[in-house]
Amino acid sequence: MFIGSSMFVKFAKCLGLLSNFRLIWIPLICITYFKKPGFANSDLDFLLSIDARSIESSGVSMWLKNKYPQMSQWADNFDRDLDQGDEILNAMGLREDDFTHFTAMMKGIDALADSNNSYQLSFSDLFLSINIIADKPMDLPRFLSWFKNQLKDEFTTGVAQNLNLGEVLTKKSLKFILPISKFYKSVEQSESQLFLDMNLSVDVSLDGNRTMMDALVSRSTDHLGGSFDIREKKIPLLNNLPDDRQISFYFKLPDSLREKIVGNDKFSDPLFNAFAGVHEIALGVSFRKESISLEFLIECLDEVSANGLNTLYQGSLGMAQLALAQEPKARAALIALRNMNSEIRENCLHLSMELNSSVLAEIISASISALSPMPPIEITKIGARRLEGSPAPNLFLPMLSGEDFNLAKQKGKVVVLGFWATWSGPSIRNLPLLLEATREFNSSELKLVSVNQDASVKELLEFINQYNLHELSILLDENSSAFDAFDVKGLPHTVVIDQAGIVHDVAVGFSPFQGSDLKRMLTKLIK
């Protein structure tokens, strides 16, 4: 087991881990192959389809398995961490190798996005189907017994004591409908509102040596049975993807969500506005004889939106490559990005990547090196990282408050420099993380200053009010002297200087974990 069924079943196991979150897990453990007439002529909002068996049997997967056996070992280690998934498999009477296909489909996302109050959502217009096919017969009585026990463990009301799913169990099939609201007598109303009118419908059938199991969460129960084949190509955008793909992904951006992005001041930065013209997204991944191909399509409302999105993509790609080039352990991602191609086809941005065996070998070798313990040798640092371990460049700049800031006078304190610009959405989102990470330290221990080069005093004052960043100390780098001294080429750019004035760490790029990582670093330096 390697890339194919291993990847697929691990996904299934991860879904099983959601069992700690009340009824959300119920449809997710019932994963099987999807065949629904109701969807065949429907306007889907979301689709994910994985042909695991075809992936596993592909030439490139077999080559990878033989050339890099350590990756199979990592996959097996991951398996052992998912005990909950093993419990689900045992209840089904199936093994990982038995699973061949996975499909998930959803409709009604637009109604959710249109809601003004997330606590008053109604899923009445939503239906979600999660499905799988296995090439071995499932143990239907054992699965039903396990499923009922799981429900009884979850709910302690009198209803659970007399659990009746209205199931129909035969030698070849299992069907039941579970009114979800039935179990919410002891649950907060705000939570129950999400599922109040919903039903879980499960249909399992044994066809020879195959198991086909459909789980549908919706208000209606009329969609069980019949047939739907992903190859029927009922979604036009998927028609532009290669026919030999084993992974298909589709998502339609709700109109109501697009309107909220355009009309919300919180999303006023260009990064969000660029997505306002996005209509549909499709992804196809093909595991071939000697290569892996990725085709990514972003269909926009018009050609102007597509060109704007392409401009944003090109700029983001350049910054990403710059940031990754300064991180030795990110070499694999850098190699992959360098093989990305893009073009505009009318109102559609088309991104593609063809990874042949030589490129794959380079990527995997770089990944193995990054995951392996670093040898005790000196690593040559490039770009801004070269400053680490060296005295920080002299920095003397005016502050927005009117005072002067002299870095040399900060010795004895840890100094955090956050370089940013008002045009950079990632660097703007990074500022609150810096504030949160440094808030618990007193002024005698630490000094946080942000360095801005692109905005006037008036613009910065408006910015502070707009984003409620009055705590932020801002240095005015009008001639880019600080940006040049610290070799800032990508934003956000964060520098940590220790009490002796030595550059301790340089981080380029945005990460949602940067705040917590920074806080741990500062705690070690200061305490």
List pLDDT tens digits, range 340-388: 888 888 889 999 999 988 888 878 777 766 655 444 333 344 455 678 8
Residue 187's pLDDT is: 45
Instruction: Report whether pLDDT(220) > 50.
Output: yes
Q: pTM for the complete prediction?
A: 0.60
> Using CA of residue 228, residue 233, residue 236, residue 240, what is the dihedral sign?
positive
Indicate the range of 130-139, 212-221, 432-441, 497-506 predicted with least confidence. Answer: 212-221
The rounded distance, in Å, linking the Cα atoms of 414 and 395 is: 15
User: Which residue intervals of the chain bear CATH 3.30.565?
Assistant: 250-372
The CA distances from residue 364 to 121, 357, 358, in Å, are 44, 10, 10
The rounded distance, in Å, linking the Cα atoms of 18 and 269 is: 34
The rounded distance, in Å, linking the Cα atoms of 428 and 424 is: 6
Residue 43's pLDDT is: 66
How confident is the model over 386-394, as a mean pLDDT?
Answer: 88
| DSSP one-letter string for 442-475 | -TTTEEEEEEE-S--HHHHHHHHHHHT-TT--EE
Give 502-521 pLDDT, tens digit per residue: 999 988 877 766 788 899 89
Residue 358's pLDDT is: 82
Instruction: Report whether pLDDT(50) > 70.
Output: yes
Residue 270's pLDDT is: 54
Using pLDDT thresholds of 50, 70 and 90, give the confidence band for residue 46: confident
Q: Is 449 left (phi over 0), alpha (psi -120 to 50) or beta?
A: beta
Instruction: Report whether pLDDT(84) > 60.
Output: no
Residue 244's pLDDT is: 92
Instruction: Report whether pLDDT(47) > 50.
Output: yes
Residues facing 247 on adjacent strands:
50, 285
Residue 139's pLDDT is: 92
Element containing residue 367 per DSSP (H, E): helix 357-371
User: Which residue intervals of the chain bear CATH 3.40.30.10?
Assistant: 386-526
Indicate the range of 142-151, 317-326, 347-356 predicted with least confidence. Answer: 317-326
CATH code of the domain occupying 250-372: 3.30.565
Using pLDDT thresholds of 50, 70 and 90, give the confidence band for residue 160: very low
Q: Tell me whether residue 298 is exposed, middle or buried, using C-beta atoms within 10 angstroms of its C-beta: 0 to 12, 13 to 18, 19 or more.
A: buried
Cis peptide before 391 (omega within 30 of 0): no
CATH code of the domain occupying 386-526: 3.40.30.10
Q: Higher pLDDT residue, 214 or 226?
A: 214
Instruction: Report whether pLDDT(193) > 80.
Output: no
Mean pLDDT of the chain: 75
Instruction: Report whether pLDDT(293) > 90.
Output: yes
